[in-house]
Structure 1
Amino acid sequence: MLMETFSDAVHLRNDLFSYQREVEDEGELSNGVLVLETFFGCTTQEAADIVNDVLTSRLHQFEHTAFTEVPAVALENGLNPAGTAAIAAYTKGLQDWQSGGHEWHLRSSRYMNEGARSASPGSPRPAPAPRPPTSARSSPRRAPSGCAPTHVPYQKVGPSVIPDIRMPFPLALSPALDGARGHLLEWSRRMGILGEGVWDEDKLESCDLALCAAGLDPDATQEQLDLASGWLAFGTYGDDYYPLVYGHRRDLAAARLTTARLSGCMPLSPEEVPPPPVNAMERSLIDLWARTTAGMTPDERRPLRAAVDVMTEAWVWELSNQIQHRVPDPVDYLEMRRATFGSDLTLGLCRAGHGPAVPPEVYRSGPVRSLENAAIDYACLLNDVFSYQKEIEFEGEVHNAVLVVQNFFGVDYPTALPVVQDLMNQRMRQFEHVVEHELPVVYDDFRLSDEARAIMRGYVADLRNWMAGILNWHRSVDRYKDEYLSNRVHGFAPDRTPARPVLV
């Protein structure tokens, strides 16, 4: 976080100062001001003001991380005074870079600074004057408050408004759906998921996770669909469990210990034995891991375990924000949302059977990462649109893209929703663009075999099914509907006290 906020601030500052040179003189398209000017359909000045606000917010996050989170990490890892001092010196170096870079941009004749060389060092320069927005999508400027906790939780927002969502791909469902529903109920009982006070059968039924799995992989056999449904249940249950149990108790230490224990439930070697499970999450993860990785080598298991670790550690990040009552800024949120959604896990499971025909370098290439991120962002934003009422009104949640836009721009729900809708639909268009124009170049550049090209076409089809299946699932299930949310006790299961986590 320290390095990413530093990097964001450096590059956003450069975009502000270099706009005229890059866009007007050089015809450059990759500039943050131009990106927002195009997306919002606003004036250059308005776009520059928004970029400046994002820059300010990233610097606030840098300060927050440096003064609160980095010392905690040093303490957690048992660093000696010399090690702690080294981190402090590194942080000071990043701060010096920021201030030095800012002064250089102010004084350099490279950018829009006529007479800059005659200005005295450190002399103040007038900030660009904010101007009123020219359209509904061009949201008014906010006072950049950084990490200030200003959101009031549990506001009455009414049913989630579902806008027009672009979906160019057809839906298909696995014929094993009905069998997977019955198996998931029995498996959830056996794992203890329905016995800890967080979920009961009604909540499990409201999720209908087998329906989601059936859309994600319409060609799945019964065994494959049962396994996929289990993974979805584990992820969804954990995502509910952390804020309900640890958030209500403000117990970040217990959440971190739980996360560390979950990582230990995924041995890299077949000879390793996982620890005895102490709760439903550990029991279900041990079961899913054993079934998924049977026959895998340690090298094949390692990225899959890393993907689960990324997801569970992101839940702790969410919990930390919840305890601090902090609504993330847009950059922070979108980057971390991919992790909290379990995106790496989903992609890892999709790739598991691809074999060596597709070199790892292909997956690391820019176009393939762009393809994956577009699909992931589309699904994450889609979830936020449908879950808005559930999260804002009933759960007091701060991690929702619509709320992030509201908080950052200081606008209401009807104004923020079209911004998220536009971003979601643009991510779909980016996905289509990469498939049509960029992937063929990747195939040629890497000289992929016919077999590898067929595998990549199958991967694209998997991602299309993934997005179509997720949209169908959100439209179908009760989990996000006002009638369901309003007619039952939301939160812990009725008449049942949630089990206190067993920490060993």
Structure 2
Amino acid sequence: MPEQPFVLPEFYMPYPARLNPHLERARTHSKAWARGMDMIDVPQHGTVIWTEHDLDSHDYALLCAYTHPDAGADELDVITDWYVWVFYFDDHFLELYKRTGDIDSARTYLDRIDLFMPAEGEITATPENPVERGLADLWNRTVPHRTAAWRRRFVDSTKALLEESLWELANINEGRLANPIEYVEMRRKVGGAPWSANLVEHSVHAEVPDAIAATRPLEVLRDCFADSVHLRNDLFSYQREVQDEGELSNGVLVFEKFLDLPTQEAAEAVNDLITSRLHQFEHTALTEVPALFDEHGVDPAARAATFAYVKGLQDWQSGGHEWHLRSSRYMNEGALDDRPPAARILSSVLATAPQRLRAYGHPPFGEVRVARPSVEPPFPVRLNRHLDACRRRNVDWARAMGLLDGAVWDERKLRAADLPLCAAGIHPDAPAERLDVTSDWLTWSTYADDYFQEVFGATRDLAAAKAWLERLKLFMGDAPTPLNPVETALADLWPRTDDRDAVRRAVESMTGSWLWRLANLAQNRVPDPIDHIEMRRRTFGADLSMALTAPDARPALKHLAADYGGLLNDLYSYRKEIRFEGELNNSVLVVRNFLGCPEERAFAVVADLADARLAEFRHTGDATLRDWLAGVAHWHEHAGRYTGTELGHHPRFSGPTGIGTSSLRISSLLPAGR
């Protein structure tokens, strides 16, 4: 056995692993099932995928007994068969397609698998290989027992698990290594943890209510679970995947190359990200899920089912870790710990406590030493010919709406922001009237963001902030009488807006994300890196500007562009947010906190991430959002909003800035008598 490429780090694992008492039955059953599906010692295109020894040594029954400790005997048999099937598929795909690079045959192979997992109705196709045969058998034993909502989710996660294998194969063929953001997103699909989360619901007979299954808290729980499972697997499988198979889809390798770290340090950084994701899982389960129940009026039985599901995900984490320590499939020499579970848990919590505390220990309003960046637009800038007239009309409109009352903005602040310049860049071919609408929406969203920060950023009153945002929704319809400039301007914009469904979704997503940002401020909590990136797409308002200018762009392309724009904004606004506003939700600060690195290093990492997302955009060959990217970059470079002369300017308070000064302005922003 070759020497291990790094020493496994100490993992955060606060939940004890428990073993299902039906393990031996599942072992016997799963081997007989695999043999009946022709998975053992039966050549596929001349290659034996598994011998009996391979199956025994991998011990998938042990994995399932650890990850589903409370499942009954019949449920454990079904769950174990599913995992035998998915690991066989992985190795089958490796031998037949990854090693050969035959992407066309791989597509045909995956297209046929779709025939054996219908969301409704019977399977009509005839299986032609062990993967198809096993899937047909498992589908008929599992799907009829679940609701239509669960079946839809399970079909989606199974298809993603299979189809994203093409992404891995394409990267191998091109010798292309993913950037960290792309890697985490794609690994969720190809790695199978969302699929595993669906099987947790099946094993504990507790489905998540469909009304809340797609909400942010449940999505975060699933994503944190998935990221932790996948990154843990990357640590244990690095030797086999990277050194033996030439695999490029491994988080340790991605960190190693992107951050230019030695392998050991890259492994430690990946482990820190696992810890951060598990901390985020706990934070969401304890602080966001109970509030979600109240908001949606979830009944006691459904609450109990959801918490059973959450507990099931925790069991999977601890059980999956224990299996990785024992399976011959992975690099785990010397990793087994013979200390009692309580001692292991205590050591784990103590070892990772500094990382948890660091997230809550950032002093606001600190000095900033890095200079404002200067970035060239990634594509040629085409400015709308109506820009000058749009600027004049935008000032008149803002004044008429009350945005220039001196409480948040005055005319100087509006002109420095120069939102018509951004609109002209991202909407270069719009007629004058449509350019005005885009410009006014950008002005409204930027002003509303500043207003929200002024009023609620100082008080940290989450309940009042939520009530204020709920009232905003009324102005995208039959509006009541406006009480402030934000409501007045929104009421004016709505009748002038096309594609209102898409704009409504974008506005609600953006403004709802401000509550997430405010909650972090209230807790003085620097967010988890992945949670920050995913919420930054919403707080930046990219969906709104794209709904106005490029509504037909593909969702994956929108993510790439939104990440580039959000990361670029964090670079340009870093001094403004950190020094003058006491902000915590900025990518540079998030990277500083996560890596424990100097400000300059964090700044460079964020710039590299923006460049990597841009390179990924170029790699798609899709030109749909080129004007959007060019216009956003051009605006950041040429608008005055982030320049030194404007950072200290406030319409009504030009004296000192820092802790406590925002509260001096709050009374002028609230409606009279409140």
Please tell me whether residue 103 in structure 1 is matched to residue 349 in structure 2. no
Provide the C-alpha distance between the structure 2 equivalents of 1:492 and 1:198, rounded to a whole number of angstroms. Answer: 11
User: Which residue pairs with 2:372 in the alignment?
Assistant: 161
Deviation at 1:481, TM superposition (A): 1.0
Partner of 1:194: 404
Larger Rg: 2
- Mean Cα displacement is larger for which, 74-83 or 400-409? 74-83
Residue type of the alignment partner of 2:634: N
Residue 641 of structure 2 aligns to which amino acid in structure 1?
R
Matching residue of 1:43: 262
Say whether 1:56 aligns with 2:275.
yes
Residue 486 (structure 1) aligns with: 648
Hey, what does 2:486 align to over in structure 1? 281
Counterpart contact for 1:330–1:405, Cα < 8 Å: yes
Q: Deviations over 1:320-354 (max 9, x none)?
A: 111111111211111110011112222222344x5
**Who is 2:563 aligned against?**
377
* Residue identity matched to 1:161: R
Q: Is the 8 A contact 1:377 1:427 kept in 2?
A: yes
- Are positions 1:320 and 2:519 aligned together? yes
Among 457, 460, 476, the alignment partner of 1:250 is 460
Deviations 1:74-132 (Å, cap 9, x if unpaired)? 2333444434333322221221111111111111111113588998996969x99xxxx
Who is 1:76 aligned against?
295
Output one character per residue of 1:364-385: Cα deviation in whole Å (capped at 9) or x when no partner: xxxx444322221111111111
Matched-pair contact (CA < 8 Å) for 2:592–2:602: yes
Q: Mark the CA change 1:334 to 1:118 in structure 2 (over 3 Å): closer, same or farther.
A: closer
The CA distance in 2 between the partners of 1:172 and 1:33, in whole Å, is: 41
Paired residues, number: 442
Unaligned runs of 5+ in 1: 129-140, 268-272, 294-299, 355-362, 440-459
* Aligned position for 1:151: 362
Residues 471, 110 of structure 1: alpha-carbon distance in 2 compared, 3 angstrom cutoff: same
Contact 2:563 2:610 survives alignment (8 Å): yes
Question: 1:302-381 maps to which residues of 2 (within 5 A)?
Answer: 302-352=501-551, 368-381=554-567
- CA shift for structure 1 position 53: 0.2
The equivalent of 2:476 in structure 1 is 266
Which residue in the other structure is 1:211 paired with? 421
1:240 aligns with 2:450: yes
Distance 1:51 1:495, change over 3 A: closer
Alignment partners' CA distance in 1, 2:673 and 2:221 = 30
Distance 1:176 1:391 in 2: 32
Q: Using the alignment, how far apart are the partners of 1:200 and 1:213 within structure 2?
A: 20
Instruction: Tell me the amino acid that sits aligned with residue 486 of structure 1.
Output: G
Instruction: Give, in angstroms, the shift of residue 37 of structure 1.
Output: 1.0
Say if 1:493 and 1:248 are closer, same or farther in 2 by CA, change over 3 A. Answer: closer
**Bigger Cα displacement from structure 2, 13-22 vs 112-121:** 112-121
Counterpart amino acid of 2:636? H
Shift of residue 411 of structure 1? Answer: 1.9
1:133 counterpart residue number: none
2:670 to 484, 495, 500: 500
2 CA distance for matches of 1:74 and 1:397?
Answer: 29
Name the CA shift for 1:175/1:314 in 2 (closer, same or farther; >3 Å). Answer: same
CA drift at 1:31: 1.4
- Structure 1 residue 503: Cα displacement: 11
Q: Kindly provide the amino acid, as one letter, of the partner of residue 382 in structure 2.
A: A
Conserved? CA contact 2:425–2:628, under 8 Å: yes
**AA in 2 matched with 1:347:** M
- Contact 1:322–1:397 under 8 Å retained in 2: yes
Given residue 229 of structure 1, which amino acid in structure 2 is its aligned partner?
A: S
- 1:422 matches 2:608: yes
Distance (whole Å) between structure 1 residues aligned to residue 666 and residue 534 of structure 2: 36
Contact 2:227 2:277 in 1 (8 A): yes
For 2:529, give the aligned amino acid: P
* Alpha-carbon distance between aligned partners in 2 of 1:325 and 1:71, rounded to the nearest angstrom: 21
Change (3 A) 1:503 1:212: farther
1:378–1:117 distance in 2 versus 1, CA, 3 Å: closer
Q: Would you say 1:90 and 2:309 are equivalent positions?
A: yes
Contact 2:383 2:425 in 1 (8 A): yes
* Conserved 8 A contact 2:370-2:600: no
Partner of 1:456: none
Give identity over the alignment, percent: 50
State the SS of the aligned residue for 1:387.
Answer: helix
Q: CA deviation at 1:501?
A: 5.3
Coordinate RMSD, CA, aligned: 3.0
What is the CA-CA distance between 1:317 and the residue it aligns to?
0.7
2:603 aligned with 1:404: no
TM-aligned CA deviation for residue 143 of structure 1: 4.8
Change (3 A) 1:482 1:261: same
- 8 A contact 2:564–2:611 mirrored in 1: yes
Q: Does the 8 Å CA contact 1:199/1:492 hold for their aligned counterparts? A: no
- Listed one character per residue, the Cα deviations across residues 404-457 of structure 1 (whole Å, up to 9, x for unaligned) are 11111122211211111111111111111111xxx5xxxxxxxxxxxxxxxxxx
Letter in 1 for 2:633: L
CA distance in 1, matches of 2:250, 2:613: 18
Matches of 1:311 and 1:487, distance apart in 2? 26
CA distance in 2, matches of 1:495, 1:4: 40
Q: List runs of 5+ in structure 2 lacking aligned partners.
A: 1-219
Judged with a 3 Å threshold, the aligned counterparts in structure 2 of structure 1 residues 302 and 502 are, in CA distance, closer, same or farther, namely farther
Distance 1:225 1:380, change over 3 A: same
In structure 1, what is the Cα distance between the partners aligned to 2:332 and 2:673? 59
Which of 432, 436, 439 is residue 222 of structure 1 equivalent to?
432
The one of the two structures with greater contact order (alpha-carbon pairs below 8 A, sep at least 6) is: 1
Whether the 8 Å CA contact 1:37–1:43 is kept in 2: the answer is yes
Q: Give the Cα separation in 1 of the matches to 2:649 and 2:369.
A: 13
The residue that corresponds to 1:470 in the other structure is 632
Q: Which moved more, 1:51-60 or 1:201-210?
A: 201-210
Does the aligned pair in 1 maintain the 2:391–2:420 contact within 8 Å?
A: yes
CA 172–215 in structure 1, closer or farther in 2 if over 3 Å, else same? same
Question: After the TM superposition, which parts of structure 1 deviate over 4 Å for at least 4 consecutive aligned residues?
Answer: 114-125, 490-497, 501-504
**TM-score, normalised via structure 1 length:** 0.81
Q: Structure 1 residues 178 and 108 mapped into 2: Cα distance closer, same or farther (>3 Å)?
A: same
**TM-score, with length taken from structure 2:** 0.61
